[in-house]
Structure 1
């Protein structure tokens, strides 16, 4: 799919994507809590130093936030947690799936796991589709590796317990175990700033279509009107 209108894209990236990639609501609360604890000039200086030390995101972080916003808007996916809060070093790339959340409503809620690749590569398909770190291999791992599933289920349980998402977790987990670990939704997202081309996904899509057994895998390519090199500046510009 393609977002061809530059103005529409800027509204999207400066709005929903900005909120997701900066975790703006959480960060605002964090800042207010720290400022409330600063009772001396020295303490206030320390807080200002902490708040100014945050590193801006990089393009793949903006890409992951964009993919989550697109999946939420287009397919009703939802996320109990922002993974930015799990990083223990600035700009660390966390292991596991890029996307971890839920999809569906009521009794149909299931786990949604996915991988995101951002590429300006002029080749079709781009290089990020192949190799051990490519989208195709990562989706195969998500499809069949039970140890990866176990890690993701523990991750989600820890973040959903005692929250508004706990009921969703229990419904999705029930579907998962009742199906022998098959009733989940997997998604691969390719984000591009190139001209749309069906060969970007054709080969991998045909290979995925050859798997008759669940889980279901969705493969999407989204084409944006602004260069990837501009995304960070657009997504983090003062609001």
Structure 2
């Protein structure tokens, strides 16, 4: 990863622009991004369960069972491009920006090609040894204009982050959503982060959380992609609430992302 530009107002507020070369991008897409899109851990658990069931007398000839095993063995990904952008954003944020996402939200989708409800990003961020709830939005754009409309239009990142800031009920729903995932996961790190974040959120006179906007681009880098949005948002989203924007630039056209994920191509051509 190469950091192209950066602006820091504090440890909790600022923006970054980062890029990945072609080899890094290919490795991300075919590796951890694909793992997230197919929810590999959950898929493997289900596949193992069905394969074990197949060994039992009376199930070897089940055509439905065989069909579902074959479906799980097929790891081709068929999702909309914005889903790839969301998965890539989470991977980059976890690996490079001290963010943690314990639950694959695609597990909650009844229709894998449909839209998720609520925020795109629901997790935690650690800054200066303090764990905060992270709520955010991800947009993918090839528009040559800077900033692209996905930052500034009615459904863009600017308005979505303002909405999260101005609507405590939406934040409560997201916190309740995170809390509901604690018991099924049984992850002690997850539980510890939640307990720390909820104390920080409700701390009297100093409660805080962090809003994060991520723009995924397959264009040339340009600080204007997020600078103007950050300058506007920091006037509306006030301290002590954290505010960060991140632009991720990839050298491979988004039309080829799924081809790389599915092993159809190895290059940007």
Could you say what secondary structure the match of 2:123 adopts? Answer: strand
Contact 2:122 2:174 in 1 (8 A): yes
The corresponding residue for 1:157 is 179
Could you say what secondary structure the match of 2:99 adopts? Answer: coil
Partner Cα distance (2:52, 2:117) in 1:
34
Greater helix percent: which structure? 1
Seen in structure 2, the aligned counterparts of structure 1 residues 207 and 5 have a Cα distance that, compared at 3 Å, is same
User: Gaps (5+ residues) in structure 2?
Assistant: 1-16, 265-269
**Equivalent of residue 88 in structure 1, options 110, 113, 137:** 110
For residues 45-194 of structure 1, the aligned pairs below 5 Å read: 45-48=66-69, 50-51=71-72, 56-104=78-126, 108-161=130-183, 162-164=186-188, 165-179=190-204, 182-194=207-219
Partner Cα distance (1:4, 1:68) in 2:
15
Q: How many residues are paired up?
A: 238
The corresponding residue for 1:28 is 44
Partner Cα distance (1:16, 1:205) in 2:
29
User: Gaps (5+ residues) in structure 1?
Assistant: none
**Equivalent of residue 208 in structure 1, options 192, 210, 233:** 233
CA shift, 1:98, in A, is 0.3
Could you say what secondary structure the match of 1:109 adopts? Answer: strand
Partner Cα distance (1:32, 1:137) in 2:
44
Aligned-residue RMSD, C-alpha: 2.3
Compute the TM-score of the two structures, normalised by the length of structure 2.
0.81
CA shift, 1:106, in A, is 9.2
Partner Cα distance (2:204, 2:81) in 1:
37
Greater strand percent: which structure? 2
Compute the TM-score of the two structures, normalised by the length of structure 1.
0.90
